[in-house]
Amino acid sequence: MKRLISSGLLVLGALAAGGLVGLVGTGAGQAQVAPQQRVPASAPEVKLTFAPVVARTAPAVVNVYAQKTAQQRANPIFDDPFFRRFFGGPGGPGGPGLGAPERVQRSLGSGVIVDGTGIVVTNFHVIEGADEIRIALNDKREYEAEVLLRDQRTDLAVLRIRTEARESFASLELGNSDELAVGDLVLAIGDPFGVGQTVTQGIVSALARTQVGVSDYQFFIQTDAAINPGNSGGALVDMAGRLVGINSAIYSRSGGNIGIGFAIPVNMVRVVVEQAKGGSKSVRRPWLGARLQRVTPDIAESLGLPRPTGVLVQDVVAQSPAAKADLRVGDLIVAVEGQAIDDPESLNYRFATRPIGGRAALAVNRGGKEVSVVVVLEGAPETVPRDEVQVRARSPFAGATIVNLSPAVAEELKVDANATGVVIYDVDDNSPAAAAGFKPGDVIVEVNGARVGRTRDLEQMVRTPLRAWRVTVGRGGRTITALLPG
């Protein structure tokens, strides 16, 4: 979905009563011996400073300025060619004129240089829809930047600093977020509220937060290091000066920091950066090919489990990696490569951070017995061409982008992989499709009693204007039929 760029906090929705979640916007580093961890033994040790860590890391944290020129929605009167002709509305002789004034929207965020050649990681929402992006280093030098890869599903974007000379930039080594423990000291570095580069200190408050509601891959590091608007895309670093997360969201009642911030683990960042360096314009991830269910206390009791843990396999897609590995309906997946799994989000994260072409060993409880299932990591196939179509004809679908369903599309939109037909991929803001309530992931089943098999079928159906449209869609396992005006 398209959002407006702004310099303020982008509020996504409620996390709990009275609270809001707001976006606040490679090669792997060489392995190092983890620093020794111990409690300070004396008063002088308590007065130790973080200055050496800051001196090493701060030069690699940058400001990201994004600018977008947006055309304001024209008055509906300019939909009439007669008025466009004489009053200079959009498409008329006067250009944009009175019908569609333009305005510049700007956003400010942070970023992290992860490669000395000028590769920068930031949040997707910081640069979403931007026409122009600039990078400002902490020594006041500024450069234009180009986008190498955008990944809305993880809320990450990879940029490259444009420079004529072969400059070498300060960069951060990527750590290993799986080595973090609750209680570890961390520093957050960014540019909150545009006041200038700021360093805050805190601890890792929690790991594997999966109910934040910010991106498709929810597996966040929670910290009490102060994170505020403008910190989006900034660095969360450990005491060895390694990047362990990209600061992305806060829980807040006021829009400011209250000590609950969330960062994307660096192990997810590494995957996106490596694919951007390889020239990919989108991120390919391993596909399991199974529908999973969270284990509730009632389900755990029925299975004889001491507590809710793991994920239940509800369905297996034919010819998928899960099917080839003999994963079965009713299997309880409790671990991936030795990492415990507590919910579907945890499993999705573990799969998303592993390379395609490898293998993953799943620990499975099958009928009370522990078995090991080895899954070959493959990308979801596009068995049917997407044949993307943006509907423009006057109808309830106008402004919607539709594609043919395939396992690859189903995986992207979190749709049942066994579904067939046409699915809504995107919906323009303020369009008839948005007004009708359509959302990405809606599977279009029927229109006026006729089955919709391919995108071109729907494109043909909407060519004839009608006063009313009877539409049936599949959404979240339910079938909805509605009568919509033409």
Catalytic residues: 125, 155, 232
Tell me the H-state helices in 12-123: 43-46, 51-57, 81-87
Task: Please tell me the distance from the alpha carbon of residue 486 to that of residue 463, in angstroms, as a whole number.
Answer: 12
- CA triple 159-165-167, angle to 5 deg: 65
Between CA 107 and CA 127 the distance in angstroms is 8
Cβ within 8 Å of residue 189, ≥6 positions away: 54, 57, 58, 61, 110, 197, 198, 199, 234, 235, 237
- Which residue's entry shows tokens 């020794």? 36
Per-position b or e across 467-481, b if 16+ CB within 10 A of its CB: eebebbbbeeeeeee
Asked if 442 and 475 count as a contact pair (C-beta separation under 8 A), the reply is yes
Burial class (CB in 10 A: 0-12, 13-18, 19+), 428: middle
Contacts of 324 (CB under 8 A, 6+ apart): 375, 376
For residue 168, what is the enclosing H or E element?
A: none
All residues at 6 or more sequence positions from 203 whose CB lies less than 8 Å from its CB, including other chains: 182, 183, 184, 185, 186, 223, 224, 225
State both tokens at 455: 């995108």
Contact 376, 288 (CB under 8 A): no
Q: How far apart are CA 239 and CA 261, in angstroms?
A: 18
